[in-house]
């Protein structure tokens, strides 16, 4: 299977050598590289031109400087392959990334996304703090399967997104069938650098995902990255997340087609939104006293989520808030995390 690697660039010369090396050095060689540049003036174009002179798999598209998500979409539009990888210009990946991810999708035709662990990198490329394995919603919903091959059946990951955070932390961890973009649409730039959450929510509601634990996609943390200005947990951030969730749910009937997924979404989407609202207010309380007072008020009002929380605390579940993603997994009637051995 061929892979279209879509690489958006805008004055990316600082980190581009590492990114291009990670592509050219792949053990899997059946790929094309589509560089979508927005008028770079720092030597980026010359570096790509030099690579194109050596490798006929490379092409360059010049576009207006109108944002990273329009360039994601342009790269996908020009893709000639069945599989798409979006290679953010400041990140990298393991040498066996494409080999492992392509093999997973070849062996699991019912999955439209292959996903792998994240390796957090510092600006200089050294290993950063590995928060993904402990703190990401993906990890907290997965348990011991995090280090095993497993399928995640839709709409699990979409319902998890309704808790207000990305389940797929970075696009660098994902290899995607192009047909999924035909189904759920491309990326929207309405919400700035948070727009991948909007796409991940749509995709997670309809697409099965195969998790591939023995490779990795890198996410380089540095001050110039697109998400550096996002104040996670701020009121503006929460408002944007709420707007994206509302936008997706308002248009759910445009891409959720399977009757069983429609039924599950109808049952669990409201439940997930109630849980998110409860968690947001609970975590926003100033002290333990105010948290207990908030819970008491919710109990008096007969809120089921508060009773669930209280029962967990009485049973020794002091990390109930942190374990909320596992709670969501338990709502499904059938196993939605399927180990593959």
Kindly report, residue by residue over 73-129, the tens digit of the pLDDT. 999 999 999 999 999 999 999 999 999 999 999 999 999 999 999 999 998 889 999
* Alpha carbon distance 238, 246 (integer Å): 12
| Region of poorest pLDDT, from 41-45, 147-151, 251-255 | 251-255
H/E element holding 84?
strand 83-86
Residue 296 above 80 pLDDT? yes
Give the start-to-end residue ranges of the domains of the chain. 91-341
pLDDT at residue 318, as a whole number:
73
- Write down the pTM of the prediction: 0.94
**Beta strands 208-211 and 150-152: pairing type?**
antiparallel
pLDDT of residue 232: 58
Compute the C-alpha angle 208/211/215, nearest 5°: 145
Question: pLDDT at position 149, please?
Answer: 98
Q: Does 309 have pLDDT greater than 90?
A: yes
- Can you tell me which residue has the tokens 């040498």? 95
Residues in Cβ contact with 240 at an 8 Å cutoff, skipping those fewer than 6 apart: 191, 192, 194
How far is residue 285 from each of residues 82, 137, 310, measured CA to CA in Å? 48, 22, 17
> Is pLDDT of 259 > 90?
no
pLDDT over 60 at 228, yes or no: no
**Are 4 and 57 within 8 A, CB to CB?**
no
Please state, as a whole number, how many other Cβ atoms lie within 10 Å of the Cβ of residue 295.
Answer: 21
Helix, strand, or coil (residue 56)? coil
Which pLDDT score is estimated for 339? 97
User: Model confidence over 315-329: pLDDT tens digits?
Assistant: 887 788 889 999 999
Of the pLDDT bands very low, low, confident and very high (cuts 50, 70, 90), residue 224 is low
Helix, strand, or coil here: 339? strand
The arithmetic mean of pLDDT across residues 133-141, rounded, is: 96
Residue from 167, 191, 161 nearest 273 by CA: 161
Cα(326)–Cα(140) distance, rounded to whole angstroms?
Answer: 7
DSSP three-state, residue 13:
coil
- In degrees rounded to 5, what are phi and psi of residue 209? -125, 140
Do 104 and 214 contact (CB within 8 A), yes or no? no
**Model pLDDT, residue 229:** 46
Tell me, what's the pLDDT at 237?
Answer: 87
Tally Cβ neighbours within 10 Å of residue 326: 14
pLDDT of residue 166: 95
Hunting for tokens 């700035």 — which residue is that? 192
β partners of residue 113: 176, 209
Read off φ and ψ for residue 72, nearest 5 degrees: -55, -50
Query: Which residue spans within 157-242 are E strands per DSSP?
Result: 174-177, 208-211, 217-220
Does residue 209 carry a pLDDT above 60?
A: yes
Task: Give mean pLDDT, residues 263-279.
Answer: 93
Task: Please give the pLDDT value at position 137.
Answer: 96
| pLDDT tens digits, one per residue of 164-184 | 999 999 999 999 999 999 999
Is the confidence at residue 289, as pLDDT, over 50? Answer: yes
The arrangement of strands across the sheet holding 83-86 comes to 58-62, 31-37, 3-9, 83-86, 174-177, 111-115, 208-211, 150-152, 337-339
Q: Does the pLDDT of residue 230 top 90, yes or no?
A: no
Q: What is the pLDDT of residue 42?
A: 96
Structural contact between residues 47 and 17, judged by C-beta atoms closer than 8 angstroms = yes
pLDDT value for 233: 63
| 74 close to 85: Cβ distance less than 8 angstroms | no
Residue 267 has pLDDT above 80, yes or no: yes
The candidate with the shortest Cα–Cα distance to 161, out of 104, 110, 206, is 206
């Amino acid at each position: 299977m061929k892979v279209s690697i879509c690489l958006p660039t805008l004055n990316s010369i600082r980190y581009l050598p590492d990114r291009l090396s990670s592509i050219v050095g792949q053990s899997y060689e059946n790929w094309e590289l589509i560089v979508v540049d927005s008028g770079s003036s720092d030597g980026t174009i010359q570096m790509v031109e030099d690579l194109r002179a050596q490798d006929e798999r490379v092409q360059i598209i010049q576009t207006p400087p109108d944002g990273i998500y329009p360039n994601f979409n342009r790269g996908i539009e020009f893709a000639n392959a069945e599989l798409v990888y979006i290679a953010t210009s400041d990140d990298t990946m393991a040498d066996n990334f494409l080999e492992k991810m392509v093999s997973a999708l070849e062996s699991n035709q019912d999955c439209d996304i292959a996903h792998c662990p994240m390796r957090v990198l510092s600006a200089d490329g050294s290993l950063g703090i590995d928060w993904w394995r402990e703190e990401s919603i993906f990890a907290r919903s997965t348990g011991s399967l995090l280090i095993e091959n497993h399928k995640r059946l839709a709409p699990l990951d979409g319902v998890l997104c309704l808790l207000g955070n990305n389940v797929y932390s970075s696009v660098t961890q994902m290899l995607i069938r192009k047909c999924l973009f035909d189904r759920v649409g491309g990326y929207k730039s309405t919400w700035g650098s948070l727009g991948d959450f909007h796409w991940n929510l749509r995709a997670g509601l309809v697409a099965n995902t195969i998790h591939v634990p023995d490779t990795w996609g890198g996410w380089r943390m540095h001050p110039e990255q697109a998400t550096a200005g996002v104040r996670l947990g701020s009121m503006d951030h929460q408002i944007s997340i709420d707007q994206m969730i509302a936008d997706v749910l308002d248009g759910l009937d445009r891409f959720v087609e399977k009757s069983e997924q429609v039924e599950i979404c109808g049952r669990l989407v409201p439940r997930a939104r109630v849980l998110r609202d409860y968690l947001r207010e609970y975590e926003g309380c100033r002290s333990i006293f105010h948290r207990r007072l908030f819970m008491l008020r919710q109990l008096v009002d007969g809120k089921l989520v508060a009773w669930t929380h209280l029962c967990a605390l009485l049973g020794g579940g002091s990390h109930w808030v942190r374990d909320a993603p596992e709670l969501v997994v338990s709502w499904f009637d059938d196993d939605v995390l399927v180990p593959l051995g």
